[in-house]
Amino acid sequence: MSDARITELIERAFDYRGYVTVSRRDGSKLVGFVYDRGPAHVEMFDERAVTHIRIAIEEIADVAFTGEDSAAKAQQSWERRRGSLEPRETSAWGDWADRPTLILVALPLELRGVARVLGSEMRGDVARGRLGDDRVIACAVGVGGGAAHVIAAEQPRLVVSCGFSGALDASLGPGDLVLGSSVCDESGESFTAAASVLRITRQALAGQVRVAEGELLCATRVATTREDKRMLARPGRLAVDLESWAAACAAEQAGIPWLALRVVLDPLDVDLPAFTRELHRRYLGSALRHALGGPRAAIELTRLGLRARTANRSLERALRRLVPVLGALGRREGRT
């Protein structure tokens, strides 16, 4: 296949919001989500959306579009019905009577905290339950393209992206909450949260937990060091994560209101252990190996565990207050 044809397929894969199969010249194949590309390489997450892969373009023999572009399907449905829809937040799926609130996190560790809020058990990467009168579904979707597939499958009335983040503002400490008034990716593309959702969130959390409101940056790599985070910091940009932009993008495409709520795990001037630089669904093995590095490594790991406990408790308290209120907001928006 010609170089020009490969280049065209890579550009299509970058715009595609589903999984693709990349065939290498050595006969091997990789299935995943293409989230970036350069003059000489392609950046992918594997089909579990947890492992970062870089492939040299010269190694690529073909690209097949093997996964459904779920976000595009929802967008087409929205386009067919847009003449009858009012606000941007209105769902492409019509009847809101029993549509769930969908909570998206990246990791099973984060999902366990949400499951406690719901009083339910995790079944694989999903926890289902109710808060008040509202049905809630929580999913660990990894990073990258997983959000679009879950949104298309569950057809929610509201999407809440939440989980750990790194602070980009020196005033934020472990357990502080960041309400994303907007989310952006590393290219600068940005989405702004609906004013009604932000207003209700402020009211629900007022006086209960410390909440800062501003921009969230969604990066493609974990910012593990204070140098990494300082390079990403900008005025008004409060925190960095790996998932908020993908969730907001998928919700926007489906015409669904969304909320990005992150909890600070590591302050601006605190480094994470080196093993956190690589994305994994579960970190127990890596953490144990790190602890064997000596007393200093064990202390570093203990401090990380204490910050994670603080962050989880803060996020759980916020979700208990917030989700029933936002569910009611979703019902009102859906009937307008």
pLDDT along the chain (336 residues), means of 10: 83 77 91 79 69 84 77 46 41 57 88 89 89 84 77 89 93 94 91 91 82 92 87 93 90 91 92 62 52 62 81 90 72 46
Say whether both 88 and 56 belong to one domain: no
Domain span holding position 55: 3-64
Q: What is the CATH number of the domain that holds 14?
A: 2.30.30.100
Say whether both 37 and 85 belong to one domain: no
pLDDT at position 96 is: 54
pLDDT at position 70 is: 47
Domain boundary among the residues 64, 84, 106 is at: 64
pLDDT at position 86 is: 37
Q: Half-sphere exposure (CA, 13 Å, Cβ side) for 45? A: 24
Measured distance CA(325)–CA(318) in Å, rounded: 11
Q: What is the CATH number of the domain that holds 313?
A: 3.40.50.1580
Rg over alpha carbons for the chain, rounded to the nearest Å, is 20
Per the structure, how many domains does the chain have? 2
pLDDT at position 153 is: 85
pLDDT at position 191 is: 94
Residue 82 DSSP label: G
Say whether both 162 and 290 belong to one domain: yes
Say whether both 130 and 241 belong to one domain: yes
Say whether both 54 and 77 belong to one domain: no
Cβ atoms of 57 and 42 closer than 8 Å: yes
pLDDT at position 328 is: 64
Residue 65 DSSP label: -
Say whether both 27 and 132 belong to one domain: no
CA 49 from centroid of its chain's CA atoms: 11
pLDDT at position 8 is: 87
Say whether both 210 and 312 belong to one domain: yes
